[in-house]
Each structure stands twice: as structure tokens, then as C-alpha cells.
């Protein structure tokens, strides 16, 4: 029977494991809600499902583009529509899961009118300063080049305040009335899981993956500045020791988890303890 659910949670909370378990038992389709798993060449740093899992389950949203190509929420929505069509045709449930809550929120709220990006000589700091002065309600990080340039393009082309323009041109979302489940952990336990996952990633060859990526692509490519790879870059440049590498990845991942927890408050979700999540969701899949 076709229906849709979303499973959210912080990094290392067990979302993928739970989705795979449900897929194994109920032949569910999985749409990866992860902005790193879309890249073909990033496997360990993205904590991508294994090759065996990708072959055995109906996965969407993974290995879509190369590291030097640009991916955005509009492309993700197209991937969602492919996954939904696949699931509906086969009368299978669809699980949307991953840590990029922004994609889920946009699918629910809707996209705004697309504006082509303009070329500019302004730095991120200069655009950020202009944005804070003109449009302080537009929330974006100082180092988010893509969204800063998007803001500037809207401002220059439309001559309107971008945050107002985006609200006025927003279309209806493609995802309505979806049940959202959030896997929650006590913070110290999650920190332990993050630490164990960092160690495992290094044992599985994170440094080797980083070396290969830095040799194939420009080191400043946005995708290569994700948590895990940016610390490897510092280690390979001789700036930090191996112990510092492991500690920094763990710390930065824990900081990401905190930001994800904050963002996930935007959703009306049902909190689940990881150890009980499968038994609880199993009831939904069998009714």
C-alpha cells in the first residue's frame, strides 16, 4: 500500500539503519534526504548506505551528480517526484529520510520563483554586509556562497527585498499532510555514537577518500568542505595531528547535530526512541 512518511533526526541518530530495516521488512522505497549523498564520489564522508544496501533496496536521491556539479532543492524535488511515482506504480510505501531538513521543509512549504544567478565581484563578506543592512530577516550563514549569491541576484534583478519577493512568489508545496517521525537521543549518548562513527569512518578509509577527492577536484569545491573532508584537508596539509583530526570531526559533527536539532523544531513531528522506533513504525506498515 502506498503512503509516505518522513524520518528525521540528527546525524548519527540511526535514520538510515531504521529506514533500511523497514525497507527490508516491507519493501519500502527510500528517498535519501541528504545533501552529500547526491555526490557519486563522496561515500565515506557522507555516511552513504553501503553498495549492498543500494543494490538491495529501492533507493532514490543517491549518486546523482559529480562533486563539481551544482545540486539544489529544485533538483531534489524532481528526485522526490521520481521516487513517489516509482512507489505509487508498485503500491509500495515511501520513506523520506536524512539530515537535510531544509529540503523537507521546502517540499512542504513550496518553492519561490527562480531567478538566474548574476556574476559579481563582491565577496561573501560584502554581500553579507549588504544583506544585513537591506534585508536582515533573510537568514543565511556568512560562508554560504550559493545562498548569498542567490540573495544578491534577486536583489539586483527584481529591485525588491529578496525575503519579501520569495514569500510573494512562493508556490504550493509538493508534500502535504505527511507524518514526520523524529529519532531522539540523550545528548551524551548521541555524542558517543558520533565518536564511534568518526572512528569507523577513519578505519574505513576516510583519509584515502579525501586524498583521492582533493587530487581529482579543486580543493575549494563546496562539497569538499563538508565535515569530515575539511578536517582531512588540514591533516593532509600537516596543520593538525591524527588525534586532532578525529577530535575535530567528532566536535564539528556534534555541533552540526545541535543545529539539526534546532532546525527540526520547525516540524510537527512524533518523537521516537531509536530502540523502540522499528516496533512502533512496524504497526503503521502492517495496517
Write out the binding residues for ATP: 9-16
Alpha-helical (H) ranges within the chain are 15-26, 51-56, 73-89, 101-109, 124-134, 145-158, 162-168, 187-203, 206-216, 229-236, 242-264, 274-285
Question: How far apart (Å, rounded) are the C-alpha atoms in residues 121 and 265?
Answer: 37
Residue with cell 533538483: 75
Q: For helices 229-236 and 206-216, what crossing angle results, to 10°?
A: 80
Vertex 224, ends 107 and 98: CA angle to 5°? 30
Question: How far apart (Å, rounded) are the C-alpha atoms in residues 201 and 197?
Answer: 6
**208 CB burial (10 A radius; 0-12, 13-18, 19+):** exposed
Vertex 16, ends 98 and 78: CA angle to 5°? 45
Q: How many other CB atoms are found less than 10 A from the CB of residue 107?
A: 23
Question: How far apart (Å, rounded) are the C-alpha atoms in residues 260 and 8?
Answer: 9
Binding residue numbers for substrate? 11-16
Binding residue numbers? 9-16
Amino acid at each position: 500500500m502506498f503512503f509516505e512518511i518522513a524520518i528525521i533526526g540528527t546525524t548519527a541518530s540511526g535514520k538510515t539503519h531504521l529506514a533500511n530495516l523497514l525497507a527490508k521488512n516491507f519493501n519500502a522505497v527510500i528517498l535519501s534526504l541528504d545533501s552529500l549523498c547526491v555526490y557519486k564520489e563522496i561515500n565515506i564522508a557522507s555516511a552513504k548506505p553501503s553498495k549492498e544496501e543500494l543494490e538491495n533496496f529501492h533507493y532514490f536521491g543517491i549518486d546523482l551528480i559529480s562533486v563539481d556539479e551544482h545540486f539544489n532543492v529544485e533538483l531534489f524535488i524532481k528526485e522526490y517526484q521520481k521516487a513517489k511515482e516509482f512507489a505509487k506504480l508498485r503500491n509500495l510505501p515511501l520513506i523520506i529520510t536524512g539530515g537535510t531538513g531544509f529540503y523537507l521543509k521546502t517540499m512542504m512549504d513550496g518553492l519561490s520563483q527562480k531567478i538566474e544567478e548574476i556574476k559579481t565581484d563582491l565577496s561573501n563578506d560584502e554581500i553579507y554586509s549588504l544583506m544585513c543592512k537591506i534585508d536582515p530577516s533573510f537568514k543565511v550563514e556568512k560562508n554560504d556562497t550559493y545562498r548569498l549569491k542567490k540573495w544578491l541576484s534577486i536583489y539586483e534583478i527584481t529591485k525588491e527585498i529578496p525575503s519579501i519577493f520569495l514569500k510573494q512568489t512562493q508556490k504550493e508545496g509538493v508534500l502535504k499532510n505527511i507524518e514526520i517521525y523524529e529519532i531522539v537521543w540523550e545528548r551524551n549518548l548521541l555524542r558517543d555514537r558520533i565518536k564511534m562513527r568518526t572512528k569507523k569512518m577513519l578505519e574505513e578509509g576516510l583519509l584515502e577518500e579525501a586524498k583521492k577527492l582533493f587530487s581529482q577536484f579543486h580543493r575549494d569545491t563546496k562539497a569538499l568542505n563538508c565535515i569530515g573532508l575539511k578536517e582531512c584537508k588540514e591533516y593532509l596539509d600537516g596543520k593538525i595531528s591524527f588525534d586532532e583530526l578525529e577530535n575535530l570531526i567528532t566536535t564539528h559533527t556534534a555541533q552540526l547535530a545541535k543545529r539539526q536539532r534546532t532546525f527540526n523544531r520547525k516540524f510537527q513531528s512524533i518523537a521516537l526512541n531509536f530502540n523502540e522506533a522499528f516496533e512502533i513504525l512496524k504497526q503503521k506498515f502492517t495496517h
